[in-house]
Amino acid sequence: MHACRLLFLMLFLNSVPSAVFAQTDTTVSDQRAVELRGTVTAERAWWDLQRYDLKIEVDPEARTIEGTNEITFIPVSPGRRLQIDLQAPLQIEWVKVGERELKFVREGNAYFVEFDNDLKVGTASSIIVKYGGQPIVAENPPWSGGVSWQKDIKGNHFIATSCQGIGASVWWPNKDHGYDEPDRGMSIQVTVPEDLVAVSNGRLKQKLHDQKNQTRTFLWEVTNPINNYGVNMNIGNYVNFSETFSGEGGDLDVDYWVLDHQRETAQKHFKEAPRTLRAFEHWFGPYPFYEDSYKLVVVPYLGMEHQSSVTYGNGFKNGYRGRDLSATGVGLKFDFIIVHESGHEWFGNNISMKDGADMWIHESFTNYSENLFVEYHFTEKEAQDYVLGCRKLVKNDQPIIGEYNVNGRGSSGDMYYKGGNMLHSIRHTINDDKKWRSILRGLNKKFRHQTVGTKKIESYISQESGIDFGLFFDQYLRTTKIPVLRYQIDGNRLEYQYQNVVPGYDYPLRVRINGEVVSIKPTEGMQELRRNEAIKTFEVDRNFFIDSKAR
């Protein structure tokens, strides 16, 4: 949208009578804002999202977005008042069914669209939402998201979106809650100045050049369900190269979109991508989005897990910005961003959380995927060194699972490193690697393209392992306490018990006594083990995430 068009839009919105738009409640209390953003409101619950068709025009100079989003849905219960989310300063201009304009009211960042009558249950309907303005600028992407309006080293516009946490409604109107994804996918059509390229999710279906307006339009098609924050828009002086990955699901198209001056470096460094896919297909099952392809897209921030459009800004270096998070040397054997963000294709994009409080489903499993990548391509010992080396980053300052219905999350750090070590401990508690791998693959098959809550994941792992891990999850996800094994050695006698645990916690451990591996099952009560010889050395297997202290 050019500056003059933006000025016209602002004057137009200010001059239209309030009876048309009824946008009277532009500010709301903090509590009400949290409710509108974080809960499945009555105005969200009655309709099931089917598809988005997003069409936008981006003006890099004015830093504006203007466009429409057609939202197709099926009523699952009678309803006539529908909630659409769009964050200020962007504004909805009108909402239509066909050529008929609907009334709506605005409450903070929520817009409530009014139909004349209850819509027929089970029959698909659609609305078109027209919107525009200057979106929120990302202050510290991807952690503090929005739109990044940058320039590359050659002075070309370099633009990207990142919206995990803040929400996709920061740049386009949608049903901005994780519980409901579009069952039939979406299209993303982006019009940009003719010297730029727009890259988004899915496959590039059409590219049009408008010589008169000096623009190019790129139409991308996503066939699978997609979480809102996984939708992205990237604009720059991109060039493309590609390859084919022969995987469990057949031939997968792998595309790379980089700035023109990065091509040679990227062609060498991005060899990390197919070996990442190879490792994760081994552990988690087939890549979940063969129909939509796999892409790595260079962006002006660190990177994120945008579905089928993984964004990358790690500077073509191994490690995390060149650092080894584990401080073991292992973290420099791979590119953290390619491995971690690609792992999200299985946990985060294939299996998605219903509520932000359950973000551990995304981040704990994906943190653990780094360890599995190392084990697949290097050694089991190095994999263990890596995941255990990251324990030093655990803070235990707040529970991993946060408060529900507030668009919140638990400890931003501990859902990574503590969560990854929790899963590593579960694996060693099961003590059957074949079964553990089948559980990881089974999760991705059982909950393929679904949104889930924590309890479903917990129940599946318990059921398939044959071990009730309910108290285990309570300990690590819902408290900040790490189990402590207190022990005392007296000659040939070992006394031991759990402390700092939730009531009833009694999971087994492997320990070494005089170099011999022994299985014990501590409880909160003191237990005793006698040996035929004096106990000279005692240590807990390092793969169990507990503390041990002699009395």
Instruction: Find the mean pLDDT for residues 235-247.
Output: 98
Which H helix or E strand runs over 518?
Answer: strand 516-520
What integer pLDDT is reported at residue 407 of this predicted model?
Answer: 87
Give the pLDDT score at 15. Answer: 37
- pLDDT confidence bin for 411, thresholds 50/70/90: low
| Averaged pLDDT for residues 413-441 | 97
The domain segmentation of the chain, as residue ranges, is 339-478, 484-550
pLDDT value at residue 26? 65
Is the per-residue pLDDT at 312 higher than 50?
Answer: yes
Distance CA 97, CA 83 (A): 15
* Strand-pair partners of 244: 253
User: pTM, whole model, 2 decimals?
Assistant: 0.94
541 vs 174: CA distance, rounded Å: 49
Which residues contact residue 464 at a Cβ distance below 8 angstroms, ignoring those fewer than 6 apart?
A: 435, 438, 439, 442
* Residue 2 clears pLDDT 80, i.e. is over it: no
- Please check whether the domain covering 484-550 is classified as CATH 2.20.230: no
The count of C-alpha atoms lying within 13 angstroms of the C-alpha of 50, restricted to the half-sphere facing its C-beta, is: 14
Q: What is the pLDDT of residue 526?
A: 97
CB-CB neighbours of 434 under 10 Å = 8
In 10 A of CB 351, how many CB atoms? 24
Question: If you search the block for the tokens 């490690």, which residue do you land on?
Answer: 319
% residues pLDDT > 70 (the chain): 95
C-alpha closest to that of 63 among 151, 189, 164, 169: 151
Please report which confidence band the pLDDT of residue 20 belongs to, taking 50, 70 and 90 as the band edges.
Answer: very low
Output the pLDDT for position 439: 98
Cα 487 to the center of its chain, rounded Å: 41
Cα-Cα end-to-end distance for the chain: 70
User: Cα separation of 481 and 459, whole Å?
Assistant: 22
Which CATH entry fits the domain spanning 339-478: 3.10.310.30, 1.10.645.10, 1.10.390.10, 1.10.540.10? 1.10.390.10
* pLDDT higher than threshold 90 for residue 3: no
DSSP state of 170: G
SS3 328: coil
Residues 326, 340: contact at Cβ < 8 Å?
A: no
Average pLDDT over residues 293-297: 98
Could you report the per-residue pLDDT of 323-339, keeping only the tens digit for each?
999 999 999 999 999 99
Reported confidence tier of residue 256, pLDDT bands at 50, 70, 90: very high
- Please indicate whether the domains covering 339-478 and 484-550 agree at the CATH topology level: no
What are the tokens at 6? 């933006």
Tens of pLDDT, residue by residue over 317-376, are 999 999 999 999 999 999 999 999 999 999 999 999 999 999 999 999 999 999 999 999
Residue 76: both structure tokens together? 């699952």
Beta bridge partners of 252: 245
Q: Kindly report, residue by residue over 385-397, the tens digit of the pLDDT.
A: 999 999 999 999 9
CA–CA dist 236, 121 (Å, integer): 44
Sheet with 294-298: list strands edge to edge: 238-247, 250-259, 294-298, 310-312, 303-304
pLDDT value of position 9: 40
Helix (H) or strand (E) holding 298: strand 294-298
Q: Is 155 left (phi over 0), alpha (psi -120 to 50) or beta?
A: left
Rg (CA), the chain: 26
Q: What is the mean pLDDT of residues 104-122?
A: 97
The yes-or-no verdict on residue 19 having pLDDT over 50 is no
Question: Which two structure tokens, joined as six digits, stand for 490?
Answer: 């007296």
Question: Pairing mode, if any, of strands 47-59 and 186-193?
Answer: parallel
- Would the pLDDT of 542 be above 70? yes
pLDDT above 70: residue 479? yes
The two structure tokens encoding residue 216: 């190019």
- Cβ atoms of 231 and 306 within 8 Å: the answer is yes
Task: State how far the Cα of 497 lies from the Cα of 45, in Å rounded to an integer.
Answer: 48
Nearest in space to 3 (alpha carbons), one of 129, 93, 132: 132
Q: For residues 314 and 401, what is the distance between their CA atoms, to the nearest angstrom?
A: 29
Is 115 exposed, middle or buried (CB count within 10 Å of its CB: 0-12, 13-18, 19+)? middle
Q: How confident is the model at residue 25 (pLDDT cuts 50, 70, 90)?
A: low
pLDDT at position 231:
98
For CA atoms 107, 110, 116, 120, give the dihedral sign: negative
Is residue 97 within 8 Å of residue 125, measured between CB atoms? yes
- Tally the residues of the chain: 551
Distance in angstroms (rounded) separating the CA atoms of residues 226 and 444: 15
Query: Contact at 8 Å (CB) between 256 and 270?
Result: yes
54-76 residue pLDDT tens:
999 999 999 999 999 999 999 99
Does the pLDDT at position 8 exceed 60? Answer: no
Per residue in 440-465, pLDDT (tens digit) is: 999 999 999 999 999 999 999 999 99
The one-character DSSP state at 480 is S
Please check the confidence at residue 522 and state whether its pLDDT lies above 80: yes
Average pLDDT, the chain: 94
Angle among Cα 274, 369, 159 to the nearest 5 degrees reads 65
Confidence at residue 505, expressed as pLDDT on a 0 to 100 scale: 98
